[in-house]
Structure 1
Amino acid sequence: MSTGPRPTDVNSFTKKDIRVVMMSCIVGTTVEWYDFFLYGMAAGLVFNKLYFPNDDPLIGTILAFASFAVGFVARPIGGLVFGHIGDRVGRKKTLVTTMMIMGIATFLIGVIPTHATIGFAAPLLLVTCRIAQGVAVGGEWGGAVLMAVEYASKGKRGLYGSFPQIGLAVGLVLGTGVFALLGAVMSDDSFLTWGWRVAFMLSAVLVGVGLFIRLKVMETPAFAKLEKAEARAVIPAMELVKDRQSRRNILLGMGARWAEGVAFNLWAVFIITYATTSLAVRQGTILTAVMVGAVIMVGVIPLMGRLSDRFDRRRMYALGVIALGVLTYPALLLIGTGNPVLIFATIGIVLGVVYPVVYAPEASLFAELFPTWIRYSGISVVYQISGIVASGMTPLILSFLLRESDGHLGSIMVYVLAVTVISAVSAILIRRRDMFTDDGEDDRHVERSRQESIGP
């Protein structure tokens, strides 16, 4: 598929072609999220001890989660840089580059000496690699989503857009699975000394597989149409700022995204440290529970993506946000019992079933906020800038609130419910008339660009 003319109509591709595209999206995002999540898990289990040692274990954890948040601060940079490249040069080339950056950065994390060995240079090198991870993911997510959405036939954007979202669940399964397996087959000392490094070094293998599949994929029909007509935006970010409708959609998209980021990082990142340090739950138990929730998520995401094609995506998203907010307190209480059965059931339901109600339609919902010629930049700005607070700061904020309230959940719930209201209202305020649910507006843009190039 990498040679020959590039069709501008999705109907020109065979089912086999489409399967390769979807597989490249799933595998690519799996690799990216596996690498990114490893850091989140290691921050609360390893890095707080080896790279940010402190007499107060909670302070060490907060410092480690602060370095975790740095990756999210770097993501908007990657989103803007690769969003520009993706809107100007194409989706495929961008995705190959981001995968290579992520793979190299993750492998290097696995070989960085500890604070005890090289002192301050250890956390400095760790944070540098984390920044590279953030830049890579910042460019990856938007491109993978658009690769899927822009290949979708009429009425299937929600389903196709949910496929790259599966990569988050699979990456989480692999990350928690590898950590749980390594922790089970070796002593705590061996795992802390060198075992955790194996998980990061395995990234090189996953990147090789991902690149092999991704290089077989052709550019999306929607971008090929713009390229053929020479209708690409000169500076996509400027087009976003100039257009009033796009500015409104950016703000509402970021508001809607907030609750999704908080929910995922609460139930897939923070919960691991909270359960092991505050509730004395065995590390293997909570890691396995998160892994089970992620496995359930793999099957539920495409189902919810398909439902978003049948029902209003905006309303479905808002209802999912509300459900996540309402369930947070009783779910945390159930996990606080320490009962493994209740822990598995709770995380399985919240992370595996309820969270996909929000996460599955998110890709197509945000993609439809912008026309093709500025879509990569637009979706990256929405997802990555909001991710600084919505995702990156969540473990840090929740850890701080827990510490300041002496372990009580009240302050955490106030934060979660406030975010729930903001996100639900933002999703509801997105207007259908401001969404690009078909290619009509894109076709008009192509025609305007063609006329401008011809002149009067």
Structure 2
Amino acid sequence: MTAATRTSPSARRVALAGLVGTTIEWYDFFIYGTAAALVFAPQFFPGASPVAGTIAALSTYAVGFVARPVGGAVMGHFGDRIGRRSMLVLSLLIMGVGTALIGVLPTYASIGIAAPILLVVLRFAQGLGVGGEWGGATLLALEHAPPNRRVVFSSFPQLGLPLGVVLASLVFLLTRVTLPEAGFAAWGWRIPFLASAVLVAFGLVLRLKLDESPEFRQVRTRQEVRRAPLAEVLRAPRVLLPASGLNLIGSGLGNVVLVFTLSYVAAEQLVPPSAMLAISIGTALAWAAAITVSAVLAERYGRRTLLIVGSGLLTVWAFPYFWLLDTGSVGASTLACVVSGIGIGLATGPYGAFVTEAYPVAVRYSGSSVAYAIGGVLGGALSPIVATVLYGATGAATAVSAYLVFLGLLTLLCVVTLRSPHPAVAPATASRQLEGNSS
């Protein structure tokens, strides 16, 4: 084994810290989605019809996605100027404080209209935190990895998303089954938010011990740090536009599975909420396993190939997904969700390496973070709302499936058009490539 391909203890430590940190951040992000689907409508939007209340609650959920490009742009800017590690510490702090404050936020019955306003502000803070989290964690793992293991190492932060879902679902499931329904609705839903404080403290200890990215240190040594990295990213739309569309179907169907489906099966009286939370856990575990398999296969067969396979599977699964849910069978619903999780995982394993290596090191934090966040808004933020509106207007899920197919076709178009040179190229050379793509 050569020095160039040997995995150092530092690289393994960074990958593990990235996994733990992103798991905590996504736990915080998704406990909000579960609460929005189950309890936020009556607590913060009383008096509205069930559909209107659910749409209002899911709209506050979407605010977190809208904030992600802002967090990605701001933390990406400073991550490309002063370093990746410090932005990762800041992102975890912002997320942790915002989540804990939601756990003690008074409801509409206590402080009136101020309650939903503050809820939106804190959800925006969550979005800022996760917007800067993904890019930094992925870059640290990828830029510490040996050249032949960059996809595998960059997939560790991707694992944090489904594992965060598992953790969030487990905590909500345990809280729900151990408390009476009235107690859960009145105060029990706060427990998962308050528990985040302990997790965040653990994550901070790990992150404060990390080394800065060696590739960023080289950029700083060569005095190639950019004054306005985001401006360079925006001047290259031929990279940014397809990069932003790589996760439309994964993020879109993922949030339909994790958020909209909870309210859908409850409205149709198909599967009990506790059973759906258990199914969500199984789905996320299948998702995580598929990420690992996909990353290993992508090292051999190529990033683009696995992205096409995963995104294609999700596209053709959009209609069978709801056909299986509509049976009302727990087994069929489990199959619907688990296959979706496998497809998302296949498309996610090589995603981090593919999108980050589309940008040179000097602007990589800004470019990858903004692209990831924009895709999250157009896919993940809108999908539960669009699905709820389409379902409310038509009374059936057919239109929702058609919408997901549309997202899938857009994703496939972006996958085949994005140029992502790999392994990493020298910063100066990559900058010239980016400038060439913008022309």
TM bucket by the smaller chain? over 0.9
The Cα of 1:272 is off from its aligned counterpart by: 1.4
CA distance in 1, matches of 2:340, 2:247: 17
Q: Is the 2:290–2:345 contact (alpha carbons within 8 Å) kept by the matching residues of 1? A: yes
Q: Is the 1:371–1:436 contact (alpha carbons within 8 Å) kept by the matching residues of 2? A: no
1:181-220 to structure 2, matched below 5 A, reads 181-220=174-213
Q: Is the 1:95–1:143 contact (alpha carbons within 8 Å) kept by the matching residues of 2? A: yes
Aligned partner letter, 2:240: I
1:6-405 to structure 2, matched below 5 A, reads 15-242=8-235, 246-351=236-341, 353-405=342-394
The Cα of 1:347 is off from its aligned counterpart by: 1.5
Cα deviation digits, residues 234-282 of structure 1 (max 9, x gap):
110122233xxx3201111122221121111111121111112223421
Change (3 A) 1:55 1:94: closer
Q: Which moved more, 1:106-115 or 1:248-257?
A: 248-257
Cα deviation digits, residues 23-63 of structure 1 (max 9, x gap):
11001101110000011110010111100123411110000
Helix, strand or coil: the match of 1:156? helix
Give the corresponding residue for 1:6: none
Q: Is the 2:34–2:259 contact (alpha carbons within 8 Å) kept by the matching residues of 1? A: yes
CA distance in 2, matches of 1:330, 1:220: 44
CA distance in 1, matches of 2:312, 2:339: 15
CA distance in 1, matches of 2:288, 2:376: 22
Q: Which moved more, 1:436-445 or 1:91-100?
A: 436-445
1:441-456 to structure 2, matched below 5 A, reads 441-442=426-427, 444=429
Q: Which moved more, 1:89-98 or 1:148-157?
A: 148-157
CA distance in 2, matches of 1:193, 1:401: 30
The Cα of 1:439 is off from its aligned counterpart by: 3.4
Q: Is the 1:231–1:445 contact (alpha carbons within 8 Å) kept by the matching residues of 2? A: no
Helix, strand or coil: the match of 1:440? coil
Change (3 A) 1:14 1:259: closer
The Cα of 1:133 is off from its aligned counterpart by: 0.4
Give the TM-score of the pair, scaled to structure 2: 0.95
Aligned partner letter, 1:427: V
Give the corresponding residue for 1:412: 400
Task: Give the CA RMSD over aligned residues.
Answer: 1.8
Change (3 A) 1:230 1:273: same
Cα deviation digits, residues 396-448 of structure 1 (max 9, x gap):
11000000002x122112211111111111111223xxx2313333264799x
1:407-446 to structure 2, matched below 5 A, reads 408-431=396-419, 435-442=420-427, 444=429
The Cα of 1:203 is off from its aligned counterpart by: 0.5
The Cα of 1:297 is off from its aligned counterpart by: 2.3
Which residues of structure 1 form unaligned runs of 5+? 1-8, 448-456
Cα deviation digits, residues 178-226 of structure 1 (max 9, x gap):
0011001111101011111010000000001101111111001110111
The Cα of 1:337 is off from its aligned counterpart by: 1.4
Aligned partner letter, 1:188: E
Q: Which moved more, 1:204-213 or 1:262-271?
A: 262-271
CA distance in 2, matches of 1:221, 1:10: 15
Q: Which moved more, 1:307-316 or 1:55-64?
A: 307-316
Change (3 A) 1:414 1:216: same
Aligned partner letter, 1:334: L
Q: Is the 2:6–2:146 contact (alpha carbons within 8 Å) kept by the matching residues of 1? A: no
CA distance in 1, matches of 2:48, 2:212: 53
Q: Is the 2:298–2:305 contact (alpha carbons within 8 Å) kept by the matching residues of 1? A: no
Q: Is the 1:25–1:163 contact (alpha carbons within 8 Å) kept by the matching residues of 2? A: yes
The Cα of 1:176 is off from its aligned counterpart by: 0.6
Q: Is the 1:87–1:377 contact (alpha carbons within 8 Å) kept by the matching residues of 2? A: yes
Aligned partner letter, 2:245: G
Q: Is the 1:317–1:362 contact (alpha carbons within 8 Å) kept by the matching residues of 2? A: yes
Q: Is the 1:10–1:152 contact (alpha carbons within 8 Å) kept by the matching residues of 2? A: no
The Cα of 1:386 is off from its aligned counterpart by: 2.4
Helix, strand or coil: the match of 2:212? coil
The Cα of 1:11 is off from its aligned counterpart by: 5.3
Give the TM-score of the pair, scaled to structure 1: 0.91
Helix, strand or coil: the match of 2:247? helix
Q: Is the 2:246–2:375 contact (alpha carbons within 8 Å) kept by the matching residues of 1? A: no
CA distance in 1, matches of 2:104, 2:311: 39
Change (3 A) 1:446 1:74: closer
